[in-house]
A and B are shown apart, each in its own frame.
Chain A
């Protein structure tokens, strides 16, 4: 029902814009804006959803976490800000669920101050309610944010305590059991950076994964995903790209652990509006070009 209404509204609107463009009339950009807004809103309200299957590049991250022996040490770095959060926060939450479900040890940190604040939200909304047994300092800990971008990584890859004498709550690292056998990030079994700007996954590969020869996975905002492909599969074991990557990971997680089925899986929900918006953008490009070629033809004739 919702799908039909959406198709009628969107299709009608597109035809109208096509008609105007062919007539050579200028469509105000505000109409374009309104149209995009309506499309996305309709798809959200009607909860259009489509199924997802994990592609190899996502599957390999999932399998890595799945196959590490329990108690492995995994770093999850929050390197993003609220502006990228809709895309990458679902990844972070899916990673937290998967890692703790597999009883790995989880070390949080961030190279962006904003990541630290968003991590607080994740801890309260996902980690604490869903894994009440996870103990701070034993199963997970929060190293917090440090300024200095890749400089931070340059130090922690050889010496963690030099950069982080204490965690975000002021506890000395030596007082936390999970740091007993950790000297530097080289002692980790997997590094995961979730980001989309600079510093982000690329800096992690350059300054931590490569020099430390530690397995490295990434989750990145769609914008920077294509440029991370050259690092896959050698320098990055896998990569989650944008909402699509997050949705694939969520789908894989639900498939393997059905108990997460009723938890909020925002990326899967976002793929519906996403699809509709893509269609509209493609239609805009086509319409724009039709108008362009028509006007060019006219120009040649006259």
Chain B
């Protein structure tokens, strides 16, 4: 019972969506199911929020290590929630666009969330540099090919590539690094991406089919 009902729901919804692609008169059923899916997806955000509250209040109440940071998290969460749900400071009141400029929600986004988010990513520039220096080794043929291709792309996408190789005559212009970079993107890269894409698509199709047929059941937890 615990397993049959979810499997039934899954197969029914999935099959409906597949059928709605082929059968025009079932199309609006497919649309409805997708709309429902989107609404359920929002509850996943709520679930995330609920979990966050649970985890961090536990930490605070147990005074476990770093509980003070949990307070910060909860505070941040609470402030964002209040400014957003009540649209505080929104010039258009409750009917206004949530991210209307001037609203506190948008201010918090612009000056708190946005710098945090982008700086987190900016750290990656440093990590890439360090990985280039420490980990990027031409240890075998494969790695060497990867390395050379990466070189050409890195040089080819900047003005330096032009400066270095614009002496090459037009007859051999594909050897100019910017052109070579474009060629790599258009030919071998395209072929490789396509092969991976076809492979992955087959994998996705097969996995979807397994799910619809009820063969793949791990999402229920456990193998049984």
Contacts and interface: CB of A to CB of B under 8 A. Distances in A.
Given A169-B97, A170-B95, A278-B155, A285 B136 contact: yes
Interface in B124-141: 125-126, 128-130, 132-134, 136-139
Most chain-A CB neighbours within 10 Å: which of B38, B95, B160?
A: B38
A61 interface: no
B42 A147 contact: yes
Interface stretch (A26-34, A62-70, A98-106, A253-261): A26-34
A2 interface: no
B159 interface: yes
B171 interface: no
B75 interface: no
B137 A289 contact: yes
Contacts, number: 162
A209 interface: no
B129 A280 contact: yes
Contacts of B151: 282, 285
Interface on chain A toward B: helix, strand, loop, or mixed SS? helix
Interface in B26-46: 27-28, 30-31, 34-35, 37-39, 41-42, 45
A173 to B, nearest CB: 15
A275 B101 contact: no
A228 B181 CA distance: 16
Interface in B109-124: 109-110, 113-115, 117-118, 120-121
Contacts of B27: 158
B15 to A, nearest CB: 16
Chain A interface size, under 10 / 10 to 19 / 20 to 34 / 35 or more = 35 or more
B25 interface: no
A23 B109 CA distance: 48
Interface in A89-135: 114, 116-117, 119-121, 123-124
B112 to A, nearest CB: 11
B136 A162 contact: no
B132 A288 contact: yes
Contacts of A120: 97, 99-101, 106
Contacts of B118: 82-83, 85-86
Listed from nearest, the 7 A-B pairs whose CB atoms lie closest are A148-B38, A50-B159, A83-B121, A275-B158, A82-B114, A117-B99, A284-B133
